[in-house]
Amino acid sequence: MANHVLHGSRLRRVLNTAERNGQRCGGPVLLSGLVVGAGIIELSAGPLGQNSRFSLELLTLLVLQLVGPLLVSLLAMALMMPNWLDRVERHGSRAWLISVPASALLAAVLLVLFLVSSLCAGALTTPRSDLIGEAQALLSGVALQDVLRAMLRCSFFLACICAWSQWRGYQELKRQRHPALMVSNLLIEGLMVLFALKLIWITLLDPIRLQAASL
């Protein structure tokens, strides 16, 4: 009974933390999605001279496979780093018990927000007057499996960055490093971790998935 109460309390703290962090990150992610969606469509339909259908398919591919997980993880890391370190100062080495699952949950929601905002901006930017047709073409090109895979990838990235940052922050706090210098260093380290995770994903996990799909 006590274990159920403890798990329920921890789950509520995770959800509350994810909600507070989402309020902080939602606006920048929404704005970046609008900019990315409109920018890719403008580039594809303008200088590259592609038609609307191809431009929307290109936008969907880039958002789900490349831009979305990376940019969402990067924005969330930059916005949440001070909060992660503040939790380390208050809870020590056990800070990750709440921060890491909250970050994973937040990343999945932010990825969906980024996807929706970028695709809406892309549909509105395409040089076709049939908005309903654009919406139908857009929805037909988005596979649920690809969306779930992108959400999983984004959650994995941000959770790993959070765990690394809080572990390194705990080490630096014991050495009594200056907070401003610590945040700056951890942002650079987090960026390197993010790129390393992306490289591992595309060189190891994606080839395994493609080989399994071809069998």
Structural Rg of the chain based on CA atoms: 19
Q: Extract long-range pairs of 77-80: CB within 8 Å, 24+ residues apart.
A: 77/158, 77/161, 77/162, 77/165, 77/187, 77/190, 77/191, 77/194, 78/187, 79/24, 79/25, 79/28, 80/21, 80/24, 80/25, 80/162
Write out pLDDT tens, residues 112-162. Answer: 999 999 988 888 887 665 666 666 666 666 778 889 999 999 999 999 999
Which pLDDT score, from 0 to 100, does residue 214 have?
43
Q: Note the pLDDT tens digit of each residue in 90-116.
A: 888 888 889 999 999 999 999 999 999
Report pLDDT digits (tens) over 26-75. Answer: 999 999 999 999 888 888 777 666 666 777 888 888 898 888 999 999 99
Q: Which residue has the higher pLDDT, 202 or 185?
A: 185
Please report the pLDDT score of residue 111 as a whole number. Answer: 96
Averaged pLDDT of the chain:
83
Confidence (pLDDT) at 210: 44
Closest by CA to 111, choosing from 56, 180, 41, 63, is 63
pLDDT at 57: 81
Whole-model pTM?
A: 0.85
The whole-number average pLDDT for the span 11-15 is 87
- In terms of Cα–Cα distance, which of 146, 160, 11 is closest to 73? 160
Bin 142: left if φ > 0, else alpha if -120 < ψ < 50, else beta: beta
Give the span between the Cα atoms of 110 and 102, in whole angstroms.
Answer: 12
pLDDT of residue 11: 85
Output the pLDDT for position 51.
65
Name which of 28, 17, 160, 23 is nearest 86 in CA terms: 17
